[in-house]
Structure 1
């Protein structure tokens, strides 16, 4: 028969801190306990036999998305004890993690491509209007004004030579790529932590927190860039906020688990 205790076990009071017990319906040779274990806690499993002199091998089969460590407190001197811990990942958890990574990757790629298409469409419309304005206007260049403008252009090129000059679109694209890398890093570290250590674990929290801070910096830089060039707020700012809220919730759960 098997007894699962929370944190402590007192032989004088076996019912104290008892979570669940099982004798597998009286069937000899094994028992089955179904219980959801919390991350970061210590449990005690007590196994009893129907006969005092009964010996044999001892197996433990644990299923779940987390890692566990099994320590033998005491072994009977007359019997051999073999403790094997098998951790089998639930298929639903594997499918959810894989689908989450794939969906996050392709949704980010789709948003990047969509933003490029929308931007190119706006630029083409703007160029079309500018060409129509040039056709409707008669531009007369005087030789003197042409020489002056040429000198100004050469002077401007001389002033900006040797400096890093990036347009609004180039800077925006760089920030989007950085944001994409931060999203994928947070997603991968979070999925790996869930896969290996279970939901609510603080494993990998420092890495997720670092990329989350980088992500916040890229969002602030993106907002400043749009306001500096008078483009208004980014069109996908609400998506960024939604992703950041999820990151904050995940980090908050990890911190609460540590405390």
Structure 2
């Protein structure tokens, strides 16, 4: 979820705050993955290898997309390798916009998504399943044959918390 309390960074030749969330992606099998978004907001997605520097957003940048999917959403097609750290940065395409979003990852194996805090050395890991949770949830995991889809959707988690 992007809020006014989210981290933000400047975009080249733009003014205003571009709120973002950084998410580490890990895979246990190398292969081709599709990473896409779903939101009411117009989102952009950036994939970085090893690290993301909000003061230099082109450093370590592998791929970016703004409207590769329908409804002003991003869609990244990228080869991910095992034992490699990837950072997905989700941000809005317009300054000063907030809202909820979902991330859908499809590929040959399960991908693990971990929210990261770029401004410090610590990593905040939030995990959940569609049925149980032991920590403050931010991510839901659903299994589909033959691929895994990981859906990050704060609104469903909040609804689950109310139902539990």
**Which category describes the TM-score, using the shorter chain as reference length?**
0.3 to 0.5
Higher relative contact order (CA 8 A, sep 6+): 2
Determine which structure has more spread, i.e. the larger CA radius of gyration.
1
> Could you say which structure has the higher strand fraction?
2
> Could you say which structure has the higher helix fraction?
1
